[in-house]
Amino acid sequence: MEDEIKEILTSYKTIAIVGISNKPDRDSYIVAEYLLNQGYKIIPVNPNIDTVLGLKAYPDLISVPEEIDIVDIFRRPEFVDEIVDQAIEKRAKVVWMQLGVINESAAEKARKAGLKVVMNKCIKVEHMYRFGNF
């Protein structure tokens, strides 16, 4: 898994962050800001906000008009199935469930559709660990 995560973080540069908050003290905001500063393209996905970090937010993945590489999920596990369905429909490459987000059936569905799956890990921590950005 270690090498796969490094490959994911190196190969894919467009990340939709589902459940992003526009509050600077929330983990999703902190992670998005970090990823932006590392050169990733961030697409905020949250139906309750219009913009975050100066970027237009979309209500769901289907509304995003461009290709998505990684779907980074900051939602409770019971909401992950629908997000994975949308990720498959959008032909995303990776579904990444943040720390504490575990949904085995959704992960299996994503894998069967050909997506890579990372579960219960923070994308920011994993990036910092691999690329030394402490």
Per-residue pLDDT of 27-65, as tens digits, reads 999 999 999 999 999 999 999 999 999 999 999 999 999
* Three-state DSSP class for residue 27: helix
The reported pTM is: 0.96
Two tokens, residue 72: 């980074």
Q: 16 with 93: CB under 8 angstroms?
A: no
**Residue carrying the six token digits 């929330």:** 26
Q: 73 with 97: CB under 8 angstroms?
A: yes
Per-residue pLDDT of 55-70, as tens digits, reads 999 999 999 999 999 9
In the chain, the domains with their CATH numbers are 2-131 (3.40.50.720)
What is the per-residue DSSP string for 62-95? GG--S--SEEEE-S-GGGHHHHHHHHHHTT-SEE
Q: What is the 3-state secondary structure (H, E, C) of 118-134?
A: ECCCCHHHHHHHHHCCC
